[in-house]
Amino acid sequence: MHTDIIHTLKLLKKRWKNPGAMEIGNPYQNVVGVLLSARTRDEQVLKLMPRFFRAFPTVQKLAEATPKQIETKINTIGMYRQKAKNLKGLAERVVSVYDGTIPRTLEELITLPGVGRKTASVVLVASFNTPAIAVDTHVHRVTNRLGWVKTKTPEKTEQALLKIVPDPWKKTVNQVFVKHGRYVCIQKPRCWACPVKDLCAFQKKNLEAPKNAHAILEDIEQREAFLETLREDAV
């Protein structure tokens, strides 16, 4: 099983070479980005990052801001009032409890307002090179289709994946499956464009490429290139 998992991840890493969209900057910048990205398109979050970090370049500056001041920098995304409240609380806790340093463990990270296991796992991987697996709907869907797990919820998927994915490859899971689930292994999967279709247990494969297959693949490349440009300019 481990051999198949590593082989699959290697193939997908060749296909999706870029880091995760919210793998940006230092731990403070990283945790802010991931928190803001909840139920929000990555592009929207990345576009507001430069002005946000000009206003609040450190967690100390963010802790000093009012929720209203934070809102004015993130009001282009959904749930911005709640996210501003969480950011304020997060910053205050980091300053008061952790001496202004973003904590390095899952147990500590999830005590921060707005930070759940998924957010914490992304930060652990991106900022601290700690083996963890962030499971969203894409990771949950794709790994179930592959036959790696048979689970009903992202939480159960995370528990199962942590047991079967070797530590050196845990960080790759979220990086490749979020992109793969967004562009290829969608609700009606584009198995015709999948580099690991022969390693996949999914029974209802869609192997016939549509007439506009070239345009679809070109659009994917353009979207990925645009996202990477935004990520590089975010901080």
Query: Do residues 142 and 224 share a domain?
Result: yes
The domain spanning residue 77 has which CATH number?
1.10.340.30
| pLDDT computed for residue 1 by the predictor | 64
Is there a contact between 174 and 16 (Cβ–Cβ < 8 Å)?
no
Q: Which of 73, 108, 128 is the C-terminal boundary of a domain?
A: 128
Query: Do residues 86 and 164 share a domain?
Result: no
Active site residue 14: no
> Catalytic: which of 118, 170, 171, 197?
118
Q: Collapsing DSSP states into helix, strand and coil, what is residue 17? A: coil
| pLDDT computed for residue 3 by the predictor | 77
* Among 89, 97, 108, CA closest to 32: 89
pTM: 0.91
* Among 50, 19, 173, 30, CA closest to 115: 30
Query: Do residues 107 and 192 share a domain?
Result: no
Give the structural domain span for 185.
2-19+132-232
Query: Do residues 154 and 110 share a domain?
Result: no
Q: Which residue has the tokens 């279709």?
A: 197
Domain count, the chain: 2
CA distance 83 to 32: 10
CA distance 230 to 44: 10
Active site residue 136: yes
Query: Do residues 42 and 11 share a domain?
Result: no
The domain spanning residue 203 has which CATH number?
1.10.1670.10
Is there a contact between 86 and 77 (Cβ–Cβ < 8 Å)?
no
- pLDDT tens for the chain, residues 1 to 235: 677 999 999 999 999 999 999 999 999 999 999 999 988 999 999 999 999 999 999 999 999 999 999 999 999 999 999 999 999 999 999 999 999 999 999 999 999 999 999 999 999 999 999 999 999 999 999 999 999 999 999 999 999 999 999 999 999 999 999 999 999 999 999 999 999 999 999 999 999 999 999 999 999 999 999 999 999 999 8
> Catalytic: which of 83, 88, 136, 170?
136
CA distance 105 to 120: 8
Q: Which of 75, 103, 128 is the C-terminal boundary of a domain?
A: 128
Query: Do residues 7 and 54 share a domain?
Result: no
User: Tokens representing 64?
Assistant: 């000093």
Query: Do residues 32 and 121 share a domain?
Result: yes
User: Tokens representing 101?
Assistant: 């340093």
Q: Which of 74, 96, 128 is the C-terminal boundary of a domain?
A: 128
Q: What is the DSSP letter of 197?
A: G
